[in-house]
Amino acid sequence: MNNTKFKKTILIDLDGVLNEYKGNYIPNFIPEIKNGAFKFIKKLAQNYNIKIFTTRDKTLVSKWLINNKLNNYITDITNKKDLAFVYIDDRCINFNGNYKDLFDSINNFRPWYKNKT
């Protein structure tokens, strides 16, 4: 295998990261693409394999990717936490090695769209 052609995988959550989801889940509807998401995915795909992580129906997600011209940049759609270099999600906490900080982060957690700016 040629290491220069090997790309690490990034697993990206669909709702709240790539679309305008704000906690109002509708099973047969995926909100519009977030501003900047297309350029971000296009640039990221130059150096990484990108998998979409979602519990949504795979066919619905595939259609959404096609409609937003993202399908050529995505290698897979999965509902499993696959092996990846990094995970991008709007509902995650980064562990910094300190359990007190982690406990506090869990107790104070709010998704980005619920944070006051």
Residues β-bridged to residue 9: 49
Residue 24's contacts (CB-CB under 8 Å, 6 or more residues apart) are none
Q: What residues have CB less than 8 Å from 74, skipping those under 6 apart?
A: 41, 45, 50, 51, 52, 65
pTM across the whole model: 0.85
Query: Is 82 contained in some domain?
Result: yes
Query: Is 90 part of a structural domain of the chain?
Result: yes
* pLDDT mean for each 10 residues of the chain (117 residues): 72 96 93 98 97 96 98 96 92 92 93 75
60 located within any domain:
yes
Token output for 11: 């697993």
Is position 86 within any domain?
A: yes
The CATH code of the domain that includes 75 is 3.40.50.1000
Structure tokens at 74: 């995505």
Q: Is residue 1 part of a domain?
A: no
- Number of domains making up the chain: 1
Apex CA 6: angle with CA 69 and CA 94, to 5°? 75
The domain of 89 spans 8-114
